[in-house]
């Protein structure tokens, strides 16, 4: 199985550590991984703004970069959601269908495909608050949703539970949206930032030292809100903890 | 109606500025969502009920003409006058004519969103017909000359201290007494004489039952029953989508409605109206106002399943922090954002973008409307009709081009790194940067993942190959 690694633009530019951790973790788990150098974006920003036509060329480039791989893995739930559920600005050829069907978010890939539950190198002696992005929660379904009253499950928490020394905070509104929402974060910046502040405050009040998530975009927004308002909480991508980061 | 797009972002930002209002509004509605969850947890059949309700509504909508005719026939047989209104204007003319025929000039009215949708008060009042709202929240909104903020709790954006001030102005009460019981008493004292003297009663309605020709009104304050029963003339206005085929179907909806709305097992009053009282007259006006057109829209017709419980508003993190007034419409929140553009695509073009697309609304909807998917589809429709701001359109066009060219893209983001490292703070956080208004920017880093990978994987592999050779 040859894996194509998709590192979305904002991780590439602002959070390279997350990309490196994802690559190293997959290598530690014995996988053959390649990062196609000509990749840019999945087209989500344009599609989410209604400008689906403007996503066409970007989606085509994505297919040129990734169609040769058996699976595509990305440490970003919202991008995977776009590829899997909305990637329709281009013609749906066999190649496109192959890519859409075989693109996985990192946590679901480890949990569902590799079925790995042990990370003997990982130790994180901190109390963390889990942030499930709305894309991983309600679109990729990697955790149970409070609105449906379904029995509790959480793939990211199942993986993190194998990490030595980790403990979990219990925020009051665990699956309330943090307000990022892609371009929403700038078109409705006041509401977006208020939601972000409420989110980080909820985690901080619950005793979390770190917010951990499978979506860096949510955390980029939350970190901005926490820093501006002096909420003392840190942020880390789940890939970094599973790869053995201690802080 | 003005066509100017509703400035939701701006109005929401204003609403957020006042700490007590912002905090109360979010907590009050979140509490309703939690009470709804409690009811769901004690009913193991909850998801099954939602599925049934959805199927019943879809069936009814698919056979709407047949059920509407059945309702009309049975209602007429019961002695109810049935009227058809193509739009709001026709509805208002029908109401006016009924009143003129009776020589009436005052209406006592319980809460109904659809008469607000038809802008009935605005039409009747200049013609000398007074309309008095008898629902507490709707009355507060009427006195303040505002649209309802929420379909179930119309004045939820207000604190009791706001209500005390409004009542002081109109009812001569003490503006400093904001005890809810005292305020409710003031409203009762003001409303009772009007209720007793009003010559026409008006209500909305939650359900029309085709098989019996009857309609059902669900309320908590009892004002609808007073409004309907005290005068001899009762006019009820309902949208044509309010139908259920049989009496037996009602149970499914009654069980879901108040649990979804307020988290209470049932409304205080669930009144079935079947025929006029002795010596009285009963009229039902069935309003289309764009509904049959919406029924023909492949992507949006299921929004007609809505039973107006407001659960999507209560759960919506954006609505809770924006306040209903920021939507500029009778219907606010997620459901408003998908049905308002069917009334006026230009004016309400901003509303489908007033969402993070988190999807919580879809999960709480008792009739399983795919609200957030419809928001997504509306964005496409509006962008294609050029109903989104020019600047946004241009930015997306540029972004689309840039992201399709790896070399250009690499050049562009190397610029971002340099900018974040070297630009002075006031440049990065000036008023043109909406990200930085209430948030810090991400920290600059030494190198992108792209260049790290080149150094640590590609070049190393090359070196390895060379040494091997």
Q: What is the pLDDT of residue B426?
A: 67
Q: What gap in Å lies between CA B197 and CA A203, rounded to an integer? A: 56
Q: Checking DSSP bridges between strand B243-244 and strand B207-209, what pairing results, if any?
A: parallel
ipTM score over 0.95, yes or no: yes
Contact B12, A191 (CB under 8 A): yes
- In this complex, which of B8, B352, B356 lies closest to A177 when CB atoms are compared? B356
Tell me if the domain spanning B1-17+25-41+298-388 has CATH number 1.10.1060: yes
- Strand ranges of the sheet holding B243-244, from the earlier edge strand across to the other edge: B243-244, B207-209, B214-219, B269-273
| Residue B458 to chain A, least CA–CA distance (Å) | 10
CB contact (8 A) between residue A184 and residue B355: yes
Please tell me the distance from the alpha carbon of residue B254 to that of residue B270, in angstroms, as a whole number: 9
Lowest mean pLDDT among A134-138, A141-145, B375-379, B403-407: B403-407
Total CB pairs under 8 A between chain A and B? 214
Structure token pair of residue B2? 């003005």
pLDDT of residue B422: 67
Contacts of A146 in chain B (CB under 8 A): 37
Q: For A20-62, how does the pLDDT look when each residue is reduced to its tens digit (9 = 90+)?
A: 999 999 999 999 999 999 999 999 999 999 999 999 999 999 9
Alpha-carbon gap: B311 to the closest alpha carbon of chain A (Å): 11
Closest B-chain CA to A46: B396
Residues of chain B with C-beta less than 8 angstroms from the C-beta of A78: none
Give the residue from B312, B295, B279, B392 showing the smallest Cα distance to B57.
B295
Instruction: Say if B397 is an interface residue toward chain A (CB within 8 Å).
Output: yes
**Among candidate residues B12, B5, B11, the one with its CA nearest the CA of residue B317:** B12
The distance of A167 to chain B (nearest Cα, Å) reads 26
Contact A174/B at CB under 8 A: no
Residues in contact with A16: Cβ distance below 8 Å, sequence separation at least 6, in sequence order: B445, B447, B448, B449, B452
Model pLDDT, residue B461: 81
Residue of A nearest to B30 (CA): A173
CB-CB under 8 Å, B363 with A51? no
**Amino acid B427: pLDDT:** 64
What count of residues does chain A have?
247
Q: What is the overall mean pLDDT for chain A?
A: 97
CA-to-CA dists, residue B303 to A224, A226, B114, B296, B338, angstroms: 37, 38, 15, 12, 7
Largest CA-CA distance found in chain B, in angstroms, rounded: 107
Interface touch B393/A189, C-beta < 8 Å? no
- Do you know the residue count of chain B? 469
Question: Measured in whole angstroms, how far is the alpha carbon of residue B345 from the centre of its chain?
Answer: 16
Of A239, A16, A222, A37, residue with least CA distance to B444: A16
Please state, in angstroms and as integers, the Cα–Cα distance from residue B197 to each residue in B142, B191, B201, B202, following that order.
19, 10, 11, 14
Q: d(Cα A42, Cα B411) in Å, to the nearest integer?
A: 18
Cα separations (Å) of A29 from B207, B348, B461?
58, 51, 20
Asked if B8 reaches chain A (Cβ–Cβ under 8 Å), the answer is: yes
**Rounded CA separation B364/B432 (Å):** 37
**First vs last Cα of chain B: how many Å apart?**
78
Q: What are B60's two structure tokens?
A: 């009814």
Number of neighbouring beta carbons within 10 Å of residue B367:
24
CATH of domain A127-242: 3.40.50
pLDDT at A86 over 80: yes
Question: Dihedrals φ, ψ of B365, to 5°?
Answer: -60, 120
Task: Name every chain A residue with its beta carbon within 8 A of the beta carbon of B450.
Answer: 7, 12, 37
Chain A, 183 to 202: residues with Cβ < 8 Å from chain B are 183-198
Domain range annotation of chain B:
1-17+25-41+298-388, 43-289, 393-468
Nearest-CA residue of chain A relative to B319?
A: A191
| Per-residue pLDDT tens listing for chain B (469 residues) | 578 999 999 999 999 999 999 999 999 999 999 999 999 999 999 999 999 999 999 999 999 999 999 999 999 999 999 999 999 999 999 999 999 999 999 999 999 999 999 999 999 999 999 999 999 999 999 999 999 999 999 999 999 999 999 999 999 999 999 999 999 999 999 988 999 999 999 999 999 999 999 999 999 988 899 999 999 999 999 999 999 999 999 999 999 999 999 999 999 999 999 999 999 999 999 999 999 999 999 999 999 999 999 999 999 999 999 999 999 999 999 999 999 999 999 999 999 999 999 999 999 999 999 999 999 999 999 999 999 988 888 889 988 999 999 998 888 887 666 667 666 776 667 656 788 899 998 888 889 999 999 999 998 888 888 887 7
User: Which of A12, A45, A225 lies closest to B449 in CB terms?
Assistant: A12
Q: What is the CATH number of domain B43-289?
A: 3.40.50.10420
The CA dihedral of B400, A22, B360, A162, to the nearest 10 degrees, is: 180
Write out chain A residues lying below 8 Å of B399, CB-based: 45-46, 54
* Residue the block writes with tokens 């008469």: B115
How deeply is B357 buried, as exposed, middle or buried, from its count of CB atoms within 10 A (0-12, 13-18, 19+)?
A: buried
**B12-71 residues touching A, CB cutoff 8 A:** 12-13, 16, 22, 26, 30, 37, 40-41, 46-47
Biggest CA–CA distance in chain A, Å, is 50
Testing the interface with A: which of B358, B390, B446 to mutate, by most A Cβ within 10 A? Answer: B358
C-alpha–C-alpha distance, residues B461 and A155, integer Å: 34
Q: Where are the domains of chain A?
A: 2-114, 127-242
Examine domains B1-17+25-41+298-388 and B43-289 and report if their fold is the same: no
Set of chain A residues whose Cβ sits within 8 Å of the Cβ of B396: 45-46, 49, 51, 54
Residue partners of A19: CB distance under 8 A and separation at least 6: A5, A7, A11, A12, A75, B449, B452, B453
Tokens of B180: 């809810």
**Could you tell me the two tokens for B408?**
């250009």
Whether B443 and chain A come into contact, CB under 8 Å, resolves to yes
B183 touches chain A (CB under 8 A): no
**Residues in A 106-165 with any Cβ partner in B closer than 8 A:** 134, 138-139, 145-149
Which of residues 318 through 377 in chain B touch A, CB cutoff 8 A?
Answer: 318, 321-322, 352-360, 362-364, 376
Residues of A within 8 A of B406 (CB-CB) are: 37-40, 61
List of chain A residues whose C-beta atoms are within 8 Å of the C-beta of residue B37: 146-147, 149
3-state secondary structure A125-191: CCEEEEECCHHHHHHCCCECCHHHCCCCCEHHHHHHCCCECCEECCCCCCCCCCCCCCCHHHHCHHH
Contacts of B270 (CB under 8 A, 6+ apart): B216, B217, B218, B254
Secondary structure (H, E, C), chain B:
CCCCCCCHHHHHHHHHHCHHHHHHHHHHHHHHHHHHHHHHHCCCCHHHHHHHHHHHHHHHHHCHHHHHHHHHHHHHHCCCEEEEECCHHHHHHHHHHHHHHHCCCEEEECCCHHHHHCCHHHHHHHHCCEEEECCHHHHHHHHCCCCCCCCCCCCCCCCHHHHHHHHHHHHCCCCCCCCHHHHHHHHHHHHHHHHHHCCEEEECCCEEECCCCEEEEEECCCHHHHHHHCCCEEEEEEEHHHEECCHHHHHHHHHHHHHHHCCCCCCCEEEEECCCCCCCEEEEEEECCCHHHHHCCCCCHHHHHCCCCCHHHHHCHHHHHHCHHHHCCCCCHHHHHHHHHHHCCCCCCCHHHCCCCCCHHHHHCCCCCCHHHHHHHHHHHHHHCCCCCHHHHHHHHHHHHHCCCHHHHHHHHHHHHHHHHHCCHHHHCCCCCHHHHCCCCCCCCCCCHHHHHHHHHHHHHHHHHHHHC
CA–CA dist B54, B48 (Å, integer): 10
Distance separating alpha carbons of residues A170 and A176, to the nearest angstrom: 13
Whether B353 sits inside 8 A of A52 (CB atoms) is: no
Q: How far apart are the first and last CA of chain A?
A: 32
At residue A82, the pLDDT reads 97
Whether A37 sits inside 8 A of B376 (CB atoms) is no
Question: Residue A164, exposed/middle/buried by CB under 10 A (0-12, 13-18, 19+)?
Answer: exposed
B85 token code pair: 């209104």
CA A35 vs. chain centroid, Å, equals: 17
**Interface residue of B418, B449, B455, B458 to substitute, partner A, most A CBs within 10 Å:** B449
- What share of chain A has pLDDT > 70, as a percent? 100
Q: Beta B207-209 vs B214-219: how paired, if at all?
A: antiparallel
Per residue in A178-217, is it b (16+ CB within 10 Å) or e — as a string?
Answer: bbbbbbbbbbbbbbbbbbbbbbbbbbbeeebbbbbbbbbb
Give, for A236, the enclosing helix (H) or strand (E).
Answer: strand A234-237
A13 touches chain B (CB under 8 A): yes
């Amino acid at each position: 199985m040859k894996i194509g690694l998709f590192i979305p633009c904002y991780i590439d530019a602002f959070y390279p550590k997350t990309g490196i951790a994802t690559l190293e973790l997959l290598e530690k788990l014995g996988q053959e991984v390649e990062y196609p150098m000509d990749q840019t974006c999945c087209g989500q920003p344009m599609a989410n703004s209604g400008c689906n036509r403007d996503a066409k060329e970007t989606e085509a480039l994505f297919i040129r970069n990734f169609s040769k791989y058996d699976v595509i893995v990305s440490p970003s739930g919202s991008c995977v959601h776009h590829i899997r559920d909305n990637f329709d600005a281009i013609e749906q050829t066999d190649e496109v269908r192959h890519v859409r069907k075989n693109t996985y978010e990192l946590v679901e890939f480890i949990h569902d495909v590799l079925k790995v539950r042990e990370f003997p190198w990982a130790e994180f002696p901190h109390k963390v608050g889990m942030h499930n992005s709305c894309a991983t929660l309600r679109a990729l379904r990697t955790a149970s949703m409070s609105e449906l009253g379904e029995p509790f499950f959480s793939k990211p928490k199942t993986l993190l539970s194998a990490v030595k020394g980790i403990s979990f905070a219990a925020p009051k509104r665990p699956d309330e949206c943090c307000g990022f929402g892609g371009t929403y974060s700038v078109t409705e910046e006041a509401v977006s930032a208020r939601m972000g502040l409420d989110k980080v405050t909820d985690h901080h009040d619950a005793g979390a030292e770190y917010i951990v998530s499978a979506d860096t975009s949510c955390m980029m927004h939350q970190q901005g809100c926490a820093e501006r308002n002096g909420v003392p909480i840190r942020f880390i991508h789940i890939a970094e903890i599973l790869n053995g980061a201690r802080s | 109606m003005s066509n100017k797009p509703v400035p939701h972002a701006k109005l929401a930002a204003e609403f957020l500025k006042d700490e007590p209002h912002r905090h109360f509004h979010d907590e009050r509605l979140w509490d309703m969502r939690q009470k709804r969850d409690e009811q769901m947890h004690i009913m193991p059949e909850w998801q099954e009920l939602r599925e049934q309700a959805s199927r019943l509504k879809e069936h009814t909508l698919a056979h709407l003409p047949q059920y509407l005719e059945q309702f009309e026939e049975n209602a007429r047989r019961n002695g109810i006058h049935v009227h058809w209104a193509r739009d709001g204007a026709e509805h208002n003319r029908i109401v006016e004519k009924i009143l003129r025929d009776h020589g009436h000039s005052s209406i006592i009215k319980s809460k109904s969103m659809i008469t607000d949708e038809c802008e009935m008060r605005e039409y009747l009042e200049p013609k000398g017909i007074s309309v008095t709202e008898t629902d507490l929240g709707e009355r507060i909104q009427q006195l303040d000359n505002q649209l309802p903020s929420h379909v179930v709790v119309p004045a939820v954006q207000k604190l009791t201290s706001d209500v005390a001030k409004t009542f002081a102005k109109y009812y001569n009460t003490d503006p400093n007494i904001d005890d809810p019981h005292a305020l409710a008493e003031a409203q009762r004292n003001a409303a009772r004489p009007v209720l007793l003297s009003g010559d026409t009663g008006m209500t909305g309605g939650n359900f029309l039952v085709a098989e019996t020709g009857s309609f059902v009104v669900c309320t908590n304050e009892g004002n609808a029953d007073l409004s309907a029963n005290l005068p001899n003339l009762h006019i009820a206005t309902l949208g044509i989508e309010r139908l259920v085929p049989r009496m037996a179907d009602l149970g499914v909806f009654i069980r879901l409605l108040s649990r979804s709305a307020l988290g209470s097992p049932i409304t205080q009053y669930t009144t079935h109206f079947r025929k006029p009282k002795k010596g009285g007259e009963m009229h039902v006006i069935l309003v289309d106002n764009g509904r049959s057109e919406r029924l023909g829209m492949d992507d949006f017709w299921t929004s007609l399943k809505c039973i107006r419980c407001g659960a999507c508003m209560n759960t919506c993190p954006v609505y809770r922090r924006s306040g209903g007034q920021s939507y500029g419409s009778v219907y606010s929140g997620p459901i408003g954002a998908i049905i308002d553009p069917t009334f006026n695509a230009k004016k309400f073009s901003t509303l489908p973008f007033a969402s993070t697309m988190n999807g919580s609304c879809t999960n709480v909807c008792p009739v399983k409307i795919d609200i957030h998917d419809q928001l997504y589809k509306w964005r496409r429709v509006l962008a294609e009709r050029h109903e989104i701001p020019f600047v946004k359109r241009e930015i997306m066009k540029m972004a689309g081009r840039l992201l399709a060219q790896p070399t250009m893209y690499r050049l562009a983001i190397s610029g971002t790194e340099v900018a974040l490292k070297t630009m002075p703070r006031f440049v990065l956080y000036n008023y043109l940067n909406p990200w930085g208004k209430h948030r810090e920017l991400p920290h600059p880093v030494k190198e992108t993942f792209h260049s790290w990978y080149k150094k640590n994987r590609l070049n190393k592999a090359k070196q390895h190959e060379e040494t091997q050779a």
